[in-house]
Amino acid sequence: MNMSAALSGAVSFLTATRFHIRDLSRETSDVALNLITPIFYACIAYFLHVAGGRQQNLADLMIGAGLMGMWSSIMFGAGTVIKAQRYQGTLEFLLGSPKRFSSIIIPITTAASVFGAASMLLTLLWGVVVFDVRVDLAHVPGMTLAALVTTLAMGCFGLLIAALFVQARRAESMASPMIAPLWMLSGILVPVSGLIEPLRPVSRVLPMSWGAEAVRAAATGSPYWFGLASCAATGVVYLLVGSWAINVVARRSRDKGEVNLW
């Protein structure tokens, strides 16, 4: 791929992502939920802090709670992406365009992921404003970078979720029971070291685990590059696997003529 094609692809991705963010942000009730829900996540983090005798770092807990919100947004957003397109009748126009289906869906899952990132930042903001969480301003750029990479990596992970949920008639019902296990596995609710031994490797293949590590490390001024690089690397793997899966699903739908995608 030459430089010009890569640049054009990047511009196209950003334009499409912006389009879907605008589309998602036009629903007042969704925006209100995205503003209000982080308050509850911030409260959970604070009460855990108090219940634990104020031993744990409150900023760490607040980031963990924010990541929980981010994860929920991604599961519901990416998991129901195909259903939403089908419902509004745009799916067949997306499938019938000359672009690869995966490159059309990635901006949508990334838009959902951006909403998730906003949820995380708002949780932290509520923590700072209401619960007196201390964040060193010098660490904000590192945290922002880590949050950005985590957002993109989770957008890629969302692509795989979207492909897996195509077969589900009620994708949102499947999303709910998957949220809590992944909260635990990715070490955002409890430390990975608290998991039973056989489950620990699972957390290493989730971009959220690495993203959480990177954001937390950046917040305390610790080295975060390894976590960040691992988050990006797992994101790339999910991008490739998710692209393959969603293109297979699209092809299968054309072949079988099944209602799942229509």
Among 29, 55, 88, 193, binds another protein (CB under 8 A): 88
The verdict on 256 binding another protein (CB under 8 A) reads: yes
Give the integer Cα–Cα distance in Å for 233 and 131.
Answer: 35
Binding of another protein by 169 (CB under 8 A): no
Considering beta carbons, is residue 10 or 129 the nearer one to another protein?
10
Structural tokens at position 18: 């912006």
* CA–CA separation, 156 and 4 (whole Å): 23
Q: Which stretch binds another protein (CB under 8 A): 67-75, 83-91, 180-188, 204-212?
A: 83-91
Burial of 115: CB neighbours in 10 Å, binned 0-12, 13-18, 19+: buried
Closest to another protein by CB, 27 or 136: 27
Is 1 a binding residue for another protein by CB under 8 A? The answer is no
**CA–CA separation, 22 vs 181, rounded Å?**
31
Residue placing its CB nearer to another protein in the complex, 134 or 251: 251
- Exposed, middle or buried by CB within 10 Å (0-12, 13-18, 19+), for 145? middle
Instruction: Determine the distance from the C-alpha atom of residue 4 to the mean position of all C-alpha atoms in its chain, rounded to a whole number.
Output: 29
Identified binder of another protein from the candidate list 6, 40, 47, 97, rule CB under 8 A: 97
Name the segment binding another protein (CB under 8 A); options: 35-43, 94-102, 136-144, 227-235: 94-102
Tell me: does residue 8 bind another protein (CB under 8 A).
yes
Q: What is the contact mask toward another protein in residues 105 to 124, using x (rule: CB under 8 A)?
A: --------------------
Alpha-carbon separation of residue 219 from 20, 60, 129, 138, 181 (angstroms)? 30, 8, 17, 9, 25
User: Least Å distance between CB 16 and another protein?
Assistant: 6
CA torsion through residues 48, 50, 51, 57, sign: positive
Residue closer to another protein by CB (options 16, 218) is: 16
Please report, as ranges, the residues that interact with another protein according to CB under 8 A: 8, 11-12, 15-16, 19, 22-23, 26-27, 88-90, 92-99, 104, 254-257
